[in-house]
A and B are shown apart, each in its own frame.
Chain A
Amino acid sequence: MTAQVIVVGSGPAGVSAAWPLVKAGAKVLLVDGGTAVPLPQGEGSYFELRTDQQSHWRFFLGANFYALKQAGDVSPKLRVPGLAPTFAGFTDRFPVAVEDFKLFGSLARGGLSNAWGAGVAGFTQAELAALPVPYGEVRRGLQAVTKRIGVHGEVADDLGEFFGSGFHLQPPPPLELPAQVLLSRYQRQKKIFGAFVLGRGRNAVLTEPKGDRLPCNLCGLCLYGCSRKAIYNAAFDLEELEKHENFRYVPRVLVEELMRVGEEWEVRGRNLENRAPVALRAPAVVLACGAVGTGFLVLKALRLVGIPIRLLSSPVAAFALLIPNLLGCPTRQESFGLSQLAFKLSFDPKLYAFGNLFSTSGLPPSEFLLRSPLFLPTSRRLFRYFLPAMLVGNCFFPSVFSRHEMELCGDGSLRISGGYSAEFPAIARKTHKALRRAFFSCGAWLLPKSFRVAPPGSDIHYAGTVPLRSSPQPHEALPSGEVAGLPGVWVADAAALPELPAKPHTLLVMALADRVGREVARRLKAYAKGRIPND
């Protein structure tokens, strides 16, 4: 098959760009690292696994003790043995030097969506002021993607509008006791809060069946990967795409550079197994290999050596809440491990922090005990009662507080340095104080010293290396998504975002990728008819 379009990367952006192309009949070739991440096997809930089966240390620690080897990582997710193939090999194979920055990437089939927290949100026109794209097109993309991946949420509560209405939504899963208490206390006295808004979380998780994907059964194993395919993963879309004749999947390739050869683009890379060179040609290339990967390929194709460019990510903090009224209630056996509640804390009309609250039922107790300043046995005695009465939260800040830079070095490697802006520590302190007050009014104590800002890059949702601009500089992209100076190369992932709000942007990225897919399909059709495509 001679390909018309090569899509680089099989994450949520890659498959979202591939769908409209495949539907339009274009011959699409999707190339990625292709490491398989097997779905976790086995029956039973988190609680049953923990309490019934002796051999399940293998499930939680990994047969080769992966969880213990990753003990230094911030997030418990990075210790999950089942997710090891998601992150495996990226930093070894990718020529990158990082400084004060947490870099994660994936060579897996489905990319980082294998370990996705599944938080989604819609966007209003005002929020997308910096994006030079007609809002109608983004909206259309958001709706298409929401329908395709399956999202649950609540429109009727205080955050309904913030998350966006007019989407096809499945009903949210039942709230667990601490979340129920918190939400009802909030709703009873919401007048006093002002800048703080609390509501149900919105996740790309099924609560009703969809194709071969089963709805959530509250097994509490969300952290460890969903065996029922309830949590969206781009690999599911890839599976569907592979059923089309005009789609070809080329796994186990690490793309290294793009070269213009005559009228076409040559995507050059190496086979991950035998390191043999791979070269694929097509008139159009859609880059969807993550903000870092896409930025790297664009800088390399434009030969922009030694010029630092922006890399965005949302600073993130984590904290723990205790609802003292619930002390003494037993450990719940059913739970939902992803965002149960979400909150928005506004600093001014445009600037806000956003966060999610999670149940503690599916988290290993060791994560709490090891962060406690008390003796381990004392922590154990306390936390066995605390945990059923607790919620853990994260809190994202807009990318204006991040100061990360990325630069292509002369030897073809990448250098990334991270950092926060000067005013960020004060903002974080302010947020901490405001959250402590707001949650106290809802009957929850923000545990002292639990509010911790994670090191730069920890949120993993990097963006902004090839932003869309109405008048792009070199390495930036045109509003259509085509990279300035590289006609025929399109950027379809988070690299295209000029700014990051605090709210989750994965859905927005997928909507923009969908739009790029449609645009490329349109151009190809025009090209086939012999007309010179116009912008």
Chain B
Amino acid sequence: MRSPHEPGRRSGGFVAITGANGYIGSALVAAAVEKGCRVLALSRKPVSVPVGVWMAYDLRGAPPELPEDTQAVVHLAADVEGRERSEEEEVEAAKALASAAEKVGARFIFVSSLSASPKAPRRYGRVKWAIERELLPRGHVVVRPGLVYGGSRPGGLYAQLLQFLQKSPAYPWFFPPLMVRLIHVEELVEAILKLSVLPRAPLGLVPDIGGRTVEELAKVLRRPELVPRPGVYPLAGPPVAFSRVLQMMARYRLRRCLIPIPVPTGPFLAVLRLAGAFFPRLGDMERRLRSLRESGTASASCHTQLEVSLRDPVDGLHPSGSGRRRQLLLEGFFLLRYIFSTRPPVFFLRVYVRGVEEALGGKPLGKPWWVGPGWRLLPLLDLASRHLANLAPWRTRLEVALRVGECHPALFQHLVVTKARHRWAVTLEMLFALALEAFKRAAYLATRFCLALTNSRRVR
């Protein structure tokens, strides 16, 4: 048996993925193929893999015969509902798979859940916990994702919630809030891939560089991904109220506006539990909500360690997965509003978005502070972007907004004079505009002066 940490044989090997047909599995297969990995898809039903092969695999059956050059095995397959297999069967299957991976010297990555716990309300969490206990002593990697959402092929709980929201006219507004933690499927997949294919330094001291540990070395090199070492990797964003998640799903993914119905959390769960005695489905729902709530209070995430940046759920829930267009629309709205001092025609904003896409590559420049009520401070950006190189892209956006804006008849009216006016009235109006500008510039200079002052004090 070769050590999974043996360096030098990681490139180009297969990445075996169990449950390759599932929600996370299909996304992982696509991402791995895109990254240039050869994929060994393991599932009950065939999967077509552009670069790789499919092998039949069932949790009940024997572990598959892994190819010699398998570099990593990602274990995603699980009996979510717990109807077909016993807990022991699932644990045994995971153990057998891990042994198969160990045999060929591949890394083993087990995708668990934030709800994994010995006292988890659901069987799902308990099984995950049991498998974790078996794998961790053997030096394998465990990933614990939060509630997975997003992607073009919704699955799991995310798909069920979408299905519910698609039909329902309302959604529950729990109080006190029931907190959950989300992770976008693309982020999860990215993290798993990093754990499975990134070069991994052998554990222990690096003798050539003064006997530092690998962690120290990684810190010096600022490359945290150098140390994906065995252990538990929780992956989830900050806690969000579950009701807010439902509202965002409806609004940004389904484009539906639902009515919130206030629901007291504790009594509601109690009623569900009672009803669960008679209606198993309601009991299951109650356990689900409880396990969600528990995952919301789970430990911190390690996405920064893996250099995976988490997106805002509002962006992640957009069909594009990044909310790029929405950000561009918002940015265009406020830039035009600033330049023309009027609400721009919303339908026309698509011209701004397309213009930015065609001429500037279409990337939103992050989430600016002025999207929202802060747009009134845009003169600061207008001024600063003229002489600060790092704000130059915003200058270009302002230019695009102006050139696009003047092409709309209603906005063009703000650039021309249709009726003759008296010279002095015009002069007065212009003087007022100039005075306003002078005031704003003075405020800008004062702010800069104060900032410089506080900075110099801090230095002292």
- Give chain A's interface residues, CB within 8 Å of chain B: 50-54, 56-57, 60-61, 64-65, 67-69, 71, 324-325, 327-331, 364-366, 369-370, 374-378, 380-385, 387-388
Contacts and interface: CB of A to CB of B under 8 A. Distances in A.
Contact of A387 (B341, B399, B416): B416
Interface in B5-24: none
Nearest to A71: B399
B348 to A, nearest CB: 7
Q: By DSSP majority rule, is chain B's interface helix, strand, loop, or mixed?
A: helix
Given A329-B420, A366-B399, 13 more contacts: A51-B409, A57-B404, A60-B407, A64-B358, A68-B358, A71-B359, A324-B423, A330-B417, A366-B406, A375-B383, A377-B341, A380-B414, A384-B414
A385 B402 contact: no
B433 to A, nearest CB: 4
Task: Place the interface of chain B in its size category.
Answer: 35 or more
Contact of B418 (A61, A331, A365): A331
Contacts of B422: 328
A61 B341 CA distance: 22
B249 to A, nearest CB: 34
Contacts of B419: 330
B423 A54 contact: no
Chain A to chain B: the 9 pairs with minimum beta-carbon distance, closest first? A57-B407, A68-B359, A331-B416, A328-B426, A65-B358, A381-B433, A365-B415, A378-B437, A328-B421
A330 B429 CA distance: 15
Contacts of A387: 415-416
Contact of A382 (B348, B379, B400, B430): B430
Nearest to A51: B409
A324 B430 CA distance: 12
Nearest to B437: A378
Contact of B359 (A57, A60, A65, A384): A65
21 contacts: A50-B406, A50-B412, A65-B358, A67-B403, A68-B359, A68-B360, A68-B404, A71-B396, A330-B416, A365-B406, A375-B383, A376-B382, A377-B341, A377-B433, A378-B433, A378-B436, A378-B437, A381-B433, A382-B434, A384-B417, A385-B426
Contacts of A375: 379, 382-383, 437, 440
Contacts, number: 126
Interface of B: 338-341, 348, 351, 354-355, 358-360, 379, 382-383, 396, 398-400, 402-404, 406-409, 412-423, 425-427, 429-430, 433-434, 436-437, 440
A396 B408 CA distance: 35
Given A366-B406, A376-B338, A328 B436 contact: no
Given A68-B358, A375-B379, A380 B434 contact: no
A54 B340 CA distance: 17
A51 B399 CA distance: 21
Nearest to A65: B358
A385 B430 contact: yes
Contacts of A370: 399, 402
Contacts of A376: 338-339, 382, 398, 402
A328 B409 contact: no
Contacts of A369: 402
A57 B412 CA distance: 11
Contacts of B403: 61, 67-68, 71, 364, 366
Nearest to A59: B407
A54 B348 contact: yes
Contacts of A366: 399, 402-403, 406
A393 to B, nearest CB: 21
Nearest to B347: A54
